[in-house]
Amino acid sequence: MGNIKTFGASMQWSNVLEMVHESRIDSVGLNERVNSLATRSIKKDSKLEALSMVVSMCDLTTLEGEDTEGKISQMVAKAIKPNPLDNSVPSVAAVCVYPSLVGIAKEKVQNSNVKVAAVSSYFPSGQVPMESKLLDTKYAIDSGADEIDIVINRKAFLEGDYRKVYDEIVALKEVCQDVHLKTILEVGDLKTYENIRKASLISLAAGSDFIKTSTGKLSIGSSRQACYVMLKSVLDFESETGVKAGIKVAGGIRDAKDAIRYLVMINEEMGSDWLNPESFRFGASSLLDDVLKQIKKLKTGAYQAGYYFPRG
Amino acid sequence: MIDWQYSESIESPEIVSIKKKYTNYIGGKFVEPKSKKYINTISPSTEELLSKVPLSNEQDINSAVKAGKEGLEVWSKLTPNQRSRYLFKIARLIQERSREFAVLESIDGGKPIKESRDFDLPQVAANFFYFAGWADKLDLSWATKSLKPYGVVGQIIPWNFPLLMLAWKIAPALATGNTVVLKPAETTPLTALLFAEICEQAGLPPGVVNIVTGDGSTGSLIVNHKDINKIAFTGSTQVGKLIQKSLAGRDVGLTLELGGKAANIVYEDAAIDQAVEGVVNGIFFNQGHVCCAGSRLLLQESIHDQFVKKLEKRMQSLRVGNPLDKNTDIGAINSKEQLDKITDLVNEGVEDGGELFQTQCELPGNGFWFRPTLFTNVQPSYSIAREEIFGPVLTTLTFRTPEEAVEIANNTEYGLSAGVWTEKGSKILWTADRLDAGVVWANTFNKFDPSSPFGGYKESGFGREGGRHGLLSYLKASS
């Protein structure tokens, strides 16, 4: 075994390997369970409660080449007060931006409880030497990022070099120290449920605080199935090590109904311990507006047009 | 910390209009019982009186069988294609009124609406469609034209899947050219009586389907009727044996689908999380009122503790309560009598030395309820490991090798179903080959399809329902 420093690693490599090799998933049974959870009928008060949770768990995100300080300012304002006409709607959990925009985002969130998350490690592909990933991450942290979203090395993963995937995350966690680390598996690249489980366990073992489904840059983003595999991995990892990690789902979750289905899954499979922004997040850009519309509809009976809600 | 409680989401019962009193359906007419007697049918989830149905006596059964014989005159003269069209029509009418049937099934029988809506009713329609397709292709089924219908068939069905068991019985019987006298279970007669309306809507010739209600005495009258040509029974092994005795020496056909005590074998190389789901579905589906329920969990010793821990956690998330709530996983126990039986057996299991785990859910005040229950530390000699409990009670046994798993699985008087869980294909085949069970599910459980024959070995009965084999149960060789 290499002589790696283990600031954040939660599990020794040999134990990781053992768990990874035990990854057995029956896709038919898994789909059946996930589909059956989707038939839960969430109405009235429980729906309003769910929608409010979704808002508080959102990482409002913009990750485009066209992002400017002006765009970030708009988004942060919306993150702090998603609906200025309804004070019962909470702030979102965080805004998620590229490292170069962390400074402005940090300035704009001021003393609200909205965190600033930065994607780093050469998001979304991760195809650069390790030195660049470390530098990218260090820059984001020095700019004040509260949370760091990194991508796993899919090249190494698909080549079967799990050790490299693990070592890189360990090294990045070392840079992060206390800064909250979310590790993106990019499930759309991994394809199989076994791969998703393996990548989940490796990322958790290497010290990730969260595991996250997707970058949002692929046509295949998050799915409830992928989330199910990940939550089972988080639970098994907790039962093995006592370390409780969180999950972030991102990419393709566009409406409130879908978001509530994720919450049902977390609630029934993991328990209400995980139903808070410290343990579960949605990466979202368009999701928030649908949730705000649904909240309005539940309270007033009116389904309002988009122009009633401020843009972010 | 947030404790997120789901608000009630009740399927509206208003779609169903339950009459104060029902009649039999004989010869295409709704007729008052000559017995002038009625029995009450209640809702097991509230104990409220729903309605009264006839307690049919000998005269009523005489009329029904007579109507069946008259119906046969008409039915046997139709072309196979015409019979097929009636069955297709019934299938479509059931689909059209499926919500009404699902709600009534849940009210009268206590099963959760998500099961009556997503399992029972789709399966009911699928069975009529499937056998409608066979009706004009019978000469393709067994490559002989010497197979003929029995004639008038007496059918006695149980209370666990009231309408689905009716479909399993009536669809193949009609497709093969028989007419039927069907008696639904005493506690769940209402969907069968609603089905009588479907027969009328479909314009089925009088006497082809006759529905008479009553209790065990009524069933016995059907079995012993001199003009009945075949009996098809689904229910307890005890009653099955009585029927077989009654028919001994008579030229009456018989098929029996009786009890079970299925083994659900989980090997250490199974996909554990999916196996947990399958085991839960295997025993808690329909409150465990399932003859093929996976009531004996056979765990390889090496995964016992891990598996039980996951299973108990999963069981805690089962929602027990109002059958009409769309979020209910486990509804009401079908009757007081069944609840008492389950309670007695569970008490016996505790006295024998089994370790009891029950979930913490709150139970409604009225009605018949039983918490999802798991026994560990059970020996194969305990009654909870041998007797059919027919409730939400799972008994865990352990094994060391595949040989031992098969031996324990077969160590029962029953042989209806079994489950095998492993990611290794060759092990599935090796195990399935050695299990004495009518159906063996691999990496799944409680899956049904009208094209797949279902039935048991040993004291689980004989004859098959469903598929091409299911046709044979209603055809006999004639010289």
Q: What is the DSSP letter of B5?
A: P
- Of the candidates B206, B210, B200, the residue with the CA atom closest to the CA atom of residue B89: B200
**With an 8 Å Cβ cutoff, is A21 touching chain B?**
no
Cβ <8 Å between A40 and B272: no
Backbone φ/ψ region at B207: left (φ over 0), alpha (ψ -120 to 50), beta: left
Reply yes or no on whether A149 is catalytic: yes
CA distance A103 to B214: 80
Closest of A32, A31, A55, A52 to residue A42, by C-alpha: A52
B88 and B162 share one domain: yes
Q: Residue B1 domain-assigned?
A: no
- Under 8 Å between Cβ of A20 and A201: yes
Q: Domain of B419: which CATH number? A: 3.40.309.10
Is B6 contained in some domain?
no
- B268 interfaces chain A, CB cutoff of 8 Å: no
* Residue numbers in A near B2 (CB within 8 A): 49, 53, 272, 275-276
| CA dihedral (B292, B294, B295, B298) positive or negative | positive
Q: Looking at residue B274, what is its pLDDT?
A: 98
Give me the count of residues in chain B. Answer: 479
Provide the residue type at B76 as one letter: S
> What's the pLDDT tens digit per position in B255-287?
999 999 999 999 999 999 999 999 999 999 999
Residues B226, B267 within the same domain: no
What stretch of H or E contains A229? helix A224-241
> Which candidate from B1, B8, B317 shows the least CB-CB separation from A273?
B1
> So what's the architecture of A13-296 in CATH?
Alpha-Beta Barrel (3.20)
The answer to whether residues B75 and B220 belong to one domain is yes
- Asked if the Cβ–Cβ distance from A232 to B3 is below 8 Å, we say no
Tokens read off for A161:
């070099």
Pairwise CB contact (< 8 Å): B6 & A273: no
DSSP class of B319: P
Q: What is the mean pLDDT of each run of 10 residues along chain B (479 residues)?
A: 88 97 98 98 98 98 98 97 98 98 98 98 98 94 85 98 98 98 98 98 98 98 98 97 97 97 98 98 98 98 98 97 98 98 98 97 95 97 97 98 98 97 98 98 98 97 96 89
A52 at interface of B, judged by CB pairs closer than 8 A: no
pTM of model > 0.90: yes
B269 contact residues in A (CB cutoff 8 A)? 24
ipTM: 0.94
Active-site position among A212, A232, A293, A296: A212
Contact B271 A42 (CB under 8 A): no
State whether B318 and B214 are in the same domain.
Answer: no
Distance CA A176, CA A247 (A): 18
How many Cβ pairs within 8 Å bridge chains A and B?
A: 73
Strand runs labelled E in A69-127: 94-97, 115-119
The residue type of A277 is: P
- Mean pLDDT of chain B, nearest integer: 97
Residue B175 shares a structural domain with residue B320: no
B82 shares its domain with B142? yes
- CA A158 to chain CA centroid, Å, is 22
Of B257, B387, B459, B465, catalytic:
B257
User: Any bridge partners for residue A59, and if so which?
Assistant: A94, A283
**Closest residue on chain A to B8 (Cα):** A43
Of A184, A176, A178, A226, nearest to A27 by C-alpha is: A226
With beta carbons under 8 A apart, name residues in chain B contacting A263.
Answer: 4
CATH number of B205's domain: 3.40.605.10
Domain coverage including residue B279:
263-449
In this structure, is residue B125 part of a structural domain? Answer: yes
On whether any CB of chain B is under 8 Å from the CB of A18, the answer is no
What is the number of domains present in chain B? 2
Nearest to residue A201, comparing CAs of A237, A169, A159?
A237
Q: Is there a single domain that holds both residue B318 and residue B231?
A: no
Residues B267 and B386 in one domain: yes
Active site residue B361: no
* Partner residues linked to B266 by β-bridges: B299, B421
Q: Is the Cβ of A130 closer than 8 Å to some Cβ of chain B? A: no
> Per the CB < 8 Å rule, is A39 touching B326?
yes
Dist CA A226 CA A230 (whole Å): 6
Is residue B128 assigned to a domain?
yes
Judge whether A272 is closer than 8 Å to chain B, CB to CB. yes
Q: Which amino acid is at A65?
A: G
Does B164 lie in the same domain as B312? no
Q: Do residues B297 and B238 share a domain? A: no
Mean pLDDT by 10 residues, chain A (312 residues): 52 88 94 98 97 98 97 97 95 98 97 97 96 98 98 98 97 96 98 97 97 96 97 96 97 95 98 96 94 96 93 84
Chain A nearest-CA residue for B319: A268
Residues 417 through 446 of chain B touching chain A, CB cutoff 8 Å: 423, 443-444
Residues in A touching B114 (Cβ below 8 Å): 39
Q: Tell whether B73 and B208 lie within a shared domain.
A: yes
How far is residue B68's CA from residue B66's CA, in Å, rounded to a whole number? 5
For chain A, the structural domain boundaries read 13-296
**Residues B56 and B154 reside in one and the same domain:** yes
User: Residues 60-99, chain A: which have Cβ within 8 Å of B?
Assistant: none
Asked if omega into B205 is within 30° of 0 (cis), the reply is no
